[in-house]
Structures are given as C-alpha cells and as structure tokens.
Amino acid sequence: MIEIKEVFSKKELKDFVKFPFELYKDNKNWVPPLIQEELESFDKNKNPVFQTADTHFYLAYKNNKIVGRVVAIINWDEVNILGKKKVRFGWFDVIDDIEVTKALLNKVIAFGKEHKLDNIEGPMGFSNLDKVGCLIDGFDQRGLMITWYNYPYYATHFEQLGFVKEKIYLESKFPFSNIDPTNFQRIADMIEKRYELTHLNFTKTKEIMPYVDKMFALFNNSYASLQSFVPINDIQIEYFKKKYISFINPEFIKFVMDKEGRMVAFSIVMPDFAEALQKAKGKLFPTGFLHLLKAKNKCKTAVFYLIGVLPEYQSKGVTSIIFNENYISFKKIGVENCMRTPELADNHAVHNLWKHFGPVYHKKRCTFIKKLK
C-alpha cells in the first residue's frame, strides 16, 4: 500500500532532502546537493520565494519505506502577473513504480484544483533561477550542480499518466580549443569604440557586489520577452546575492557598461562543481569545502550559467566583448572544456551565439504538462 504524507517536521524535511542519496547511490552521473544548503532553500523563514509562492512537500511511503517525493508549488507571480494558471511540481524523485508517481502527482493535482488552476507542469522549481526539466536524453552524461538528474523511467511514467512534453531544453558542450579568438577580438574592440562601451573584470568578490543589483535588473529586462519568464523581485535579489555570488570565481563574472554607467550586458560563468559535490557527498565538513574550493580556484570545466543583454543592444555584437573577456580569463586559469546550462530549444537567438564554437548537444530535458479537468 502506498501512503502519501505531507512534510511538516525538520526530521521529515531532512528525510525529503536525503531520499535521492539512497535512490541514486550507485549512479555515477547523479550530482548530490549540499544537504544543509538544500534545507535552507526549503526554509520558509530564509528563502523569500515563499512570500510569493504556496508550497506543499510530500513523501511517499511503501512498507514504511520512503519511495518518492515531490513539491507542489503555486508561484502567484506567475499566476497573477503572467496569467498562467498552473500548479508546478518540482524536486520529484521516485522509484520505478508508476503507482507511486501517480499517487504523488495526484496530490499536486488536488492542490491545483483547489485553487481553480488550469494545468500542472513540471519538473520545475519555485522560480526561473531554480532547476528545471526532466532529463529525456543524455543519461550517460554527468549532471551539473544546477540541473536535476533522473532515471529514464520518469518520462515514461509522466506520459503513461497523460502528461505531454511542454518546454524542451538543450544542453551542449565544446572544448576550449574550439574557440578561435580572431572571431571576436577585432569585433569586440570595434563595438566598444562604436557604442562607447567599457568592460569590467574582477579579481575579488567584494568588487562585484556594488553591481549585482544592476545585473539582476538587466536580467529581468533582457528575459522579459520570454512568455514563461517571471521577474525576480528585490527581496529575491538580496537572497540570490548572498547565496550564489560567493560561489563563483570573480574572474568568471563579466559586465559591459555604457558611458553613463548603465549596464548593457553581463555574463556569469561557474566552475563545474559536479565532481567536487560527488566527493563531498552532501556535506561541507570535514572535507567537502576543500573539494569545492579546489574546483572554484582550479577550474578545468567552465559552465555558462547566465548571459543577458539589454534588448536595444541584442543585435549589435555586444556579446563579442563578453566572449573576448571570458577567453582571456579562461586561458589564464587553464580552462579546458566549456558547458552550457539548459536553454530553451526555441530560443534561437541564444543558440546562434555559440554556433562558431562547434557545440555538441549532449543532453535534452523537458517539462511535462497536463490539463486539470
């Protein structure tokens, strides 16, 4: 018999976070989160996303053993600002038993119907900066710190339960040796002179902090045209600023400014923490932080996390400045491989940015959607 229990206590929440460690313990491609960080992101007193989202956390039990988990999410900014009347589901993990999947998703469906919503969609997180998508191709590839990994049967379960693919995301990689700086160095200099732009590089995290608010404002502006985009509010910006910026090598953050001091472009590249997180096994101490520190300072694989350009500059070659500065930093640090995080398959403008580097698409993921009757 399958029993679904809502998570209320700290112990239950810790069980929720630790369930995938058991489910994927023999899988070399699953990348574990840091347990304490995951717990803090689920803390309604610490994560400001809960000010605009309602959530329920559920665990599935069979024979008194945890066999699945899911978070039911209503992002009210998405519902009220974008008019998308859907309930999200995320942090979904389950054994290969479709009845467990059905029981968990029925809880999410009931939550959506209670609030008279039209659809259920997932896997997706609380906001646009959270993990997204069910892996449907590339199961033999190691995951990233900022993506979910899952078994092939997840998609099979969704489809058998009447879900259909909604948004498709692609991930690609290319060796650093593919980058020919002559493709953008001359153009970068020309664009800077033509539009009176300057680039900013950093060596210390504290140097970046005065610009972070401008960066998130630009992020909201540059992605506003995507129909699924929910803007990040000021309180969430403060949270992400504290949570993520210190994780990133400051040499991997690039800004482009105009002559009035307005930010017109930015990029954030993260070291690939996947191997370090696997060695840490969910814990910073006693040695986990050492693995992460080594990955941060001696990066061999760079992960392109975010890139944003003001709409009025998006067809003016400004990204050549970003690529040129990243090339200089990568060469100095000794980067050997480059990877891209999930990008919408129909975002052709973004895909065109990388075509000169010979990217190989090695993973595909998607969200699944179903109408609520």
Q: Residue 227's pLDDT is what?
A: 62
Answer whether CATH 3.40.630.30 is correct for domain 175-362.
yes
Write the CA distances from 5 to 8, 104, 165, 341, integer angstroms: 9, 10, 28, 33
Domain with CATH 3.40.630.30 in the chain: 2-169, 175-362
Q: For residue 184, which amino acid is it?
A: F
Q: Residues near 337 by Cβ (< 8 Å), separated by ≥ 6?
A: 173, 174, 175, 176, 272, 300, 301, 302
* CATH entry 3.40.630.30 includes domain 2-169: yes
Count other C-beta atoms under 10 Å from residue 343's C-beta. Answer: 18
pLDDT at 84: 92
Q: Look up residue 114 and give its two tokens.
A: 């209670």
For residue 232, what pLDDT is reported?
82
CA atoms of 273 and 61, how far apart (whole Å): 32
pLDDT at 228: 67
Cβ-based neighbours of 285, under 8 Å, separated by 6 or more: none
Element (H, E) at 159: helix 153-160
Kindly give the parts of the chain with pLDDT less than 50. none
The pLDDT of residue 364: 98
Which pLDDT score is estimated for 328? 94
- The rounded distance, in Å, linking the Cα atoms of 167 and 369 is 9
Predicted pLDDT of residue 183: 81
